[in-house]
Amino acid sequence: METKNLTIMFTDLKGYTSKTSNSTRQVCMDLLDRYEYIVTPIFKRYDGEIIKEIGDAFMVAFESPTNAVLCGIEIQEEIFRYNSIVNKENRLRLKVAINSGEVQIRKNDIYGEAVNIASRLESAVEVDDVFLTDSVYLSMNKSETPPAFYVGPYKFKGIPERVNVYKILGENTQVTMVKRKRKKRGIKKAIKIVLASAIIITLGVLILGNATAIENSIETLTIYLNNIFII
């Protein structure tokens, strides 16, 4: 049996199983068609080989860990753009999980622990982000990929050792979007503080001539602005 080191990606649609119970067959087929229309060209662009489709899931193999990660990021960003222009009921939510390792190749299919870990990871992670194991993280070209942060060790059924998992911080991933929202709230708060401080400073100068009030206002303003803009 032929063996090879490959990077394996699993993608999976959130909520598809429940839709099959609550929607017509045509609605379900349209959903899968939209999903396939978005992801298939991106797989090809990064030299990913579709090994199989399992319902609403794709299993894709890559020669390059870096290509696999970049592919996953582009898929999530394309899904993000798609969701921004369609009605809520037509939006897609996607999991992407990636692992690298030795696989066995037989009759155009791949097997082995590396495949099992990728599959288990996909089942365990959140939607809208790109998750990868340390085997991918350690071998990908970090100068070509966005930053990743360590999520922690995962214990998977049938896998003897814990697997270290990372999450990519892409432009439109959940973590980045949350951080962006917090920063917007912080900027609004900063504007209020600036206005309040300006009033206090003006009163201190024009009415009280109070240098202490002026110094305290400037110090408070500086502290808040530092907290907001240091990431």
188 shares its domain with 158: no
Query: Which residues are paired to 13 by β-bridges?
Result: 94
Domain identity same for 192 and 139: no
Residue 196, pLDDT > 80, answer no
Task: Pick the last residue of a domain from 170, 187, 208.
Answer: 170
Domain count within the chain? 2
More confident residue, 14 or 64: 64
Q: Give the span between the Cα atoms of 67 and 9, in whole angstroms.
A: 11
Greatest C-alpha distance within the chain: 88
Same domain, 161 and 186: no
Confidence of residue 63 (pLDDT cuts 50, 70, 90): very high
Residues 62 and 154 in one domain: yes
Q: Where are the alpha helices (DSSP H) in the chain?
A: 16-22, 25-45, 65-83, 113-124, 134-139, 174-203, 211-229
Are 202 and 162 members of one domain? Answer: no
Residues 29 and 115 grouped into a single domain: yes
Residues 121 and 189 in one domain: no
8 phi and psi angles, rounded to 5 deg: -110, 130
Residue type, 134: D
Q: What is the dihedral of CA 120, 121, 124, 127, to 10 degrees?
A: -130
Alpha-carbon separation of residue 101 from 39, 104, 117, 214 (angstroms): 23, 10, 10, 63
In whole angstroms, give the CA distance from residue 124 to residue 127. 10
pLDDT at 85 over 60: yes
Q: Output the pTM of the full model.
A: 0.73
Average of pLDDT values for 62-83?
Answer: 95
For residue 175, name the pLDDT band (cuts at 50, 70, 90). Answer: very low
Same-domain check for residues 133 and 199: no
Tally of CB atoms within 10 A around 121: 24
Instruction: Give the CATH number of the domain where residue 76 resides.
Output: 3.30.70.1230
Within this chain, do residues 77 and 115 fall inside the same structural domain, yes or no? yes
Same domain, 152 and 67: yes
CB atoms near residue 190 (< 10 Å):
16
Residue 178 has pLDDT above 60, yes or no: no
Instruction: Supply the range of the domain harboring residue 187.
Output: 178-229
Q: Answer yes or no: do 14 and 126 share one domain.
A: yes
pLDDT at 147: 92
The reply to whether 141 and 216 lie within a common domain is no
